[in-house]
């Protein structure tokens, strides 16, 4: 095994370069991260000085508080992780780099014995939390970190065999590529592009929102769908709107994007314009779709802003609401409602 061979050599390795432990520039961090992704010896030599986000059975260890989204992610040291899970080297993947230059990894530990899990949760004041729920309860930046960690861990699990010849593949130290032992093809993780669009009338007085059968009562969101092979983002938006609600749009404008871990999508948020006209639903995809006025959307926005957990509680009253701030749909709708300049949506997100 490549990793086990390299591990034996770590003792004689000089750390190159040293973890900096000071604020370093974005470019320095990205280039350091690039070395960690590409060179196994560099990645492994920094593992003992890294920080680790632990997943047990795809549930991240989080301090989830309804009062605050700060410090939700629990970052363990290498020695803390190995105390609970000695196989960390073969189960961790590189995530990103903290502003002080500390490399950060995520580690998938499987099912822990109950006593071990309780000790870990008690000592950190955290719990292993459902990922889908957690994404709506942490900051936007932390949601992206959770999403990336889950996707890279799952990608490694689902790509144990080569898609070209079927032989076993072997991961690199960072977990960011897998090489086929037979045909030497190297495989890399990637995101699936999705177009998500807020359709407005030309006067910006009404928008189209849709409701899928799986949505809790009262929740409506933007039209969204996967990009087809050979499509531009604009093509995807035109097609999805036509398929789902039976109208044609113009003036497709990209606004902002979000990574989403189910099933590993890059959600590209757009605006588009259509004359206010009757909608024709795709009954296989949607339960309902309607034009909503500014007044209706304003009340829906107020409801989810006052109660971001409405989605999780099932909304027994059935009153209209939209996805919470953890979803890009919220930002597209909020941005339209407030009429703020396009670039300000990034300030809300980041």
In the stretch 13-52, what mask flags binding to Zn ion with x, by CB under 5 A?
----------------------------------------
Binding of residue 180 to Zn ion (CB under 5 A): yes
CA nearest to 278, candidates 247, 239, 250:
247
> At closest approach, how far in Å is the CB of 297 from Zn ion?
51
Q: What is the DSSP string of 32-69?
A: HHHHHHH-HHHHHHHGGG-EEEEEETTEEEE---SS--
Size of the residue set binding Zn ion (CB under 5 A): 8
Binding of residue 2 to Zn ion (CB under 5 A): no
Q: Are 244 and 288 in contact (CB under 8 A)?
A: no
Report residue 240: phi and psi, to 5°.
Answer: -60, -40
Rounded to whole angstroms, how far apart are CA atoms 175 and 266?
A: 20
Residues 6+ apart with CB under 8 A from 102: 19, 21, 49, 50, 51
- Residue 150 in tokens: 């889950």
**183, 248, 250, 340: residue in contact with Zn ion (rule CB under 5 A):** 183
Q: What is the DSSP string of 99-133?
A: TTS-EEEEEE--SPPHHHHHHHHHHHT-EE--HHH
Which range touches Zn ion (CB under 5 A), out of 92-100, 167-175, 256-264, 340-348? 167-175
CA of residue 265 relative to chain centroid, distance? 8
Binding of residue 165 to Zn ion (CB under 5 A): yes
> At closest approach, how far in Å is the CB of 156 from Zn ion?
16
Q: Binders of Zn ion among 267-326, rule CB under 5 A?
A: none
> At closest approach, how far in Å is the CB of 182 from Zn ion?
5
Query: CB-wise, 119 or 179, nearer to Zn ion?
Result: 179
Q: Are 174 and 43 in contact (CB under 8 A)?
A: yes
Query: CB-wise, 172 or 227, nearer to Zn ion?
Result: 172
Binding of residue 164 to Zn ion (CB under 5 A): yes
In the stretch 137-156, what mask flags binding to Zn ion with x, by CB under 5 A?
--------------------
> At closest approach, how far in Å is the CB of 160 from Zn ion?
12
Strands 265-273 and 250-260: antiparallel
Binding of residue 162 to Zn ion (CB under 5 A): yes
CA nearest to 301, candidates 277, 340, 333:
333
> At closest approach, how far in Å is the CB of 263 from Zn ion?
23
In the stretch 103-142, what mask flags binding to Zn ion with x, by CB under 5 A?
----------------------------------------
What residue ranges bind Zn ion (CB under 5 A)? 162, 164-165, 167, 180, 182-183, 185
């Amino acid at each position: 095994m490549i990793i086990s061979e390299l591990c034996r050599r770590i003792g004689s390795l000089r750390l190159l370069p040293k973890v900096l432990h000071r604020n370093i520039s974005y470019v320095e961090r990205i280039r350091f991260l690039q070395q960690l992704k590409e060179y196994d010896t560099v990645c492994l030599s920094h593992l003992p000085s890294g920080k680790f986000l632990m997943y047990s059975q795809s549930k991240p260890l989080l301090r989830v508080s309804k009062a605050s989204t700060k410090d939700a992610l629990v970052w363990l040291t290498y020695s803390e992780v190995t105390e609970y899970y000695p196989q960390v080297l073969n189960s961790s993947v590189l995530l990103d780099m903290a502003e002080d230059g500390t490399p950060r990894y995520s580690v998938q530990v499987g099912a822990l014995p109950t006593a071990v899990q309780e000790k870990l949760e008690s000592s950190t004041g955290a719990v292993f939390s459902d990922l889908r729920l957690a994404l709506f309860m942490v900051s936007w930046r932390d949601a992206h970190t959770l999403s990336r960690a889950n996707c890279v861990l799952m990608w490694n699990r689902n790509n144990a065999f080569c898609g070209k010849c079927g032989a076993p593949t072997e991961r690199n130290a960072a977990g960011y590529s897998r090489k086929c032992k037979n045909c030497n093809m190297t495989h890399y993780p990637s995101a699936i592009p999705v177009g998500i669009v807020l359709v407005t009338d030309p006067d910006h007085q009404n928008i189209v929102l849709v409701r899928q059968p799986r949505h809790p009562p009262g929740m409506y969101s933007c039209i969204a769908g996967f990009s087809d092979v050979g499509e531009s983002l604009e093509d995807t938006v035109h097609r999805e709107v036509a398929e789902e609600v039976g109208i044609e749009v113009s003036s497709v404008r990209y606004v902002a994007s979000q990574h989403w871990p189910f099933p590993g999508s890059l959600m590209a948020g757009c605006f588009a314009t259509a004359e206010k006209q009757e909608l024709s639903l795709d009954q296989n995809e949607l339960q309902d779709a309607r034009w909503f006025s500014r007044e209706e959307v304003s009340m829906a926005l107020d409801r989810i802003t006052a109660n971001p957990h409405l989605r999780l509680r099932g909304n027994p009253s059935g009153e209209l609401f939209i996805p919470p701030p953890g979803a890009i749909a919220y930002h597209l709708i909020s941005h339209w409602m407030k009429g703020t300049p396009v670039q300000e949506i990034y300030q809300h997100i980041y």
